[in-house]
Amino acid sequence: MLTEFARKSARDLLNAAAGFFHRIGLTPNILTVIGFLLVLLIALVIALGYEALGAVLLIFGAAFDATDGALARLTNRVTKFGGFFDSTLDRYADGVLMLALVWRGIEYNNRWLIVLAVVALIGAFLVSYTRARAEGLGLQLKEGWFTRLERMIVLILGLLSTLVLGQLGLVLAVAILAVLSNITAVQRILLTRQKLGE
């Protein structure tokens, strides 16, 4: 899965960043909150029509998002609440980013963008929910074609494509998000059924 590959590839960089944040006295949960506030700012930038700038900021934000976990592992502060808190704010982050796209759809007077952003949000939430529900049944369910990292990459590319394609690039990217997120949710439903042997 791309997420695991990215984590392994960026491990040294994340550990270095985590060490810096530890030296200045930040905790994993504080980093989680800062990361969410950064996403709020990025969503505002996108909603105001600066899609390409939002894409650049999302690249930084995505890297920052992984640092809280690295800091928790570095300082032996991995807790159940920390994982829960991070996952919950990730869902809020998904929501505000899609809300920014809905706003762009209103500004563009593009109903397709609005509808696709809502469908993409439903898919993103269901990808997360199916994993959480499966884990509540005692299963590990990290598999999936289109997890959060993949969604973020497509969103960044879609935002950047507005420089060349205008709103069409954004609509195409959000359509990919809508379709593949929901396919991944269905994939996880089937995998859970298979693992339960039912």
Give catalytic residue positions: 90
| 157 neighbors 62 (Cβ within 8 angstroms) | no
Instruction: Judge contact between 130 and 141, C-beta under 8 A.
Output: yes
Q: Give the torsion sign (CA, 37, 38, 40, 44).
A: positive
Q: Tokens standing for 74? A: 């570095």
The H-or-E segment that residue 47 falls in is helix 28-47
Which 8-state DSSP code applies to residue 66? Answer: T
CA-closest candidate to residue 61, choices 143, 159, 138? 159
